[in-house]
Structure 1
């Protein structure tokens, strides 16, 4: 069943169908918010609050966009408000917590796996140095694979601004990593 059919059922009184929408998008939304917020606990809270707000506002969903685009917009608004209320905390331990278990490459030796893990940590740290606007555009494009028009809709920003921010975010990330990772190890970057 597609999203529009589920939404019609929910609005006609079948509120149990909302669980299908939640199951469909909760993991994807959580993963995006972990990268954006830098905290699994905060991401869990924001996902929950976003789904509650989306449910309460479902009657206002006009169907001009995809449901997940509309949901992401709600989630990013909630996340931005959350970040503004909180002072960010950065640490290596937090990076490890966010990362969870890293998949192990069976073909790589211990030194290569260790170096790759260090590079992943450096990429995460570099991502945290980006401004909120640049980080959100980069996450939505590179991690979520959204198209420019979808990102523009989620962030309520013109497409030209999305392109500009994405270009700047990539350049800032590249410059930051260039200073951290020796040239002979850059090919191992994720």
Structure 2
């Protein structure tokens, strides 16, 4: 565990609320990124991230330090995201309505020299995002954590509470399924 995180946790448990604010500042951007990729909506990701931080604060005394604070926090956030998706699935009457809510954070066109290049890149990102959204949730979660967040296999296993072998097999299957979906999409567009 990061020594700084450990010190902040101890300070927070000693009643110094500002210490938890520092933990939030330190971990909010990465956690938000994971949630946007999982949920497909920045608004939902913000809500779930806020819920995750509230839960983490309320349960901070249960954190044992067996893994990094960020791993523990990610697990809370993933569980909150899954619960939210299940609730929404029961409430939704149309799959099309769910897809309409999914957004992408576009790339910054100022960093590109050619407008056509920026548009092509955005189109590719949208194709990947759509294919990723079409993956079963158990595959999408591990793939996002590994490929987009750069987490190690053991960190993913700790975060979502599954054996490391299952993480490896799900990532392998997710990559294969994502590749297949992208190839089908590319052929359809030709």
Same fold, TM-score > 0.5, yes or no: yes
* 1:100-151 deviation per Cα after TM superposition (whole angstroms, max 9, x unaligned): x4123434x3333322221111111000000111000000001110000000
2-structure distance, mates of 1:106, 1:46: 32
The match for 2:92 is none
2-structure distance, mates of 1:24, 1:12: 19
Cα deviation, residue 16, structure 1: 1.6
1-structure distance, mates of 2:28, 2:58: 17
Contact kept? 1:29, 1:72, Cα under 8 Å: yes
1-structure distance, mates of 2:9, 2:26: 13
1:10 aligns with 2:12: yes
Counterparts of 1:138-177 in structure 2, within 5 Å, are 138-177=143-182
1-structure distance, mates of 2:88, 2:70: 26
Cα deviation, residue 41, structure 1: 1.1
1:106 aligns with 2:112: yes
Number of matched residues?
A: 179
| Superposed CA RMSD | 1.8
The match for 1:188 is none
After TM superposition, what 4+ stretches of structure 1 lie above 6 angstroms from structure 2?
none
Tell me, what secondary structure is at the counterpart of 2:176? helix
Query: Which ranges in structure 1 are unaligned for 5 or more consecutive residues?
Result: 186-190
Query: Which ranges in structure 2 are unaligned for 5 or more consecutive residues?
Result: 90-94
Cα deviation, residue 15, structure 1: 1.6
The match for 1:66 is 68
